[in-house]
Amino acid sequence: MKPLIGTHECKVDAKGRLPLPAALKKQLAGVMEDGFVLKRSVFQKCLELHPMSEWNKVMDDVNKLNRFVKKNNDFVRLFTAGLKVVEVDGNGRIQIARDLIAYAGIDKEVVLSPNSMILEIWDKDSYESVVDIAELDFAALAEDVMGNVKSNEDDGVS
C-alpha cells in the first residue's frame, strides 16, 4: 500500500456514520475488503483508521513485547483501548462508535488527514488549532526533524 494523499473535510451523521470521499476510497481500494482498525491516537485527541494489513504490521511489533514486564503490559492495554474493527458499508461509510466520537471530541464536521498509511480523523476545530502555523514554528520543526535526513541520491543508492 502506498502512503495516503490528500486532506478531506466530511460530516459525521447523528448515528456516527462517516462517508469516505471518492478520492480516498480510490486510494484504499486494494485494502477495503479486509477492513480497518479504528483507534484512539497516541499523541493527539484524534482517531486513527488503520487498514487491517497495516494494523497487523503494527501488532507484529507490539506482540514482541514481553507481557510479563508491567510497563509493556500497561502500554499494550492503553494502546489498544477502545479500538474497533470497522468495515466500509455499501454506501461507502464507516461507523464510528460513540466512545471514540467522545474521545476525539467530534461534533459534526471532521477532517480526514493522512499520516503515511494511517488516516487521522479529527474534529474540524481541533484539527485547525493543531495545524495553526502561528502556534508552531513549522520551519524550526522541519529543520529539526528533516534537516539531517539524507536522500537516497546522497547515499549513492538508486
Using the 8-state DSSP alphabet, how is residue 60 labeled?
Answer: H
Give counts: helices (H), strands (E), the chain.
6, 8
The pLDDT of residue 2 is above 60? yes
pLDDT at 134: 55
Which residues, at least 6 apart from 125, have a Cβ–Cβ distance to it below 8 Å? Answer: 107, 109
Q: To the nearest whole number, what is the mean pLDDT of the chain? A: 90
Dist CA 10 CA 113 (whole Å): 11
What is the full DSSP assignment across 73-132?
HHHHHHHTTT-EEE---TTSEEEPPHHHHHHHT--SEEEEEEETTEEEEEEHHHHHHHS-
Q: Which residues pair with 38 in a beta bridge?
A: 49, 84
Which residues, at least 6 apart from 128, have a Cβ–Cβ distance to it below 8 Å? Answer: 111
Tally of CB atoms within 10 A around 157: 8
**Roughly how many angstroms between the first and final C-alpha of the chain, as a whole number?**
21
pLDDT at 64: 97
pLDDT at 16: 96
Residue of 96, 118, 116, 117 whose CA lies nearest to 107 = 96
The pLDDT of residue 1 is above 80? no
Dist CA 117 CA 106 (whole Å): 22
Q: Which amino acid is at 154?
A: D
Measured in whole angstroms, the distance separating CA 90 from the mean position of its chain's CA atoms is 22
The pLDDT of residue 158 is above 80? no
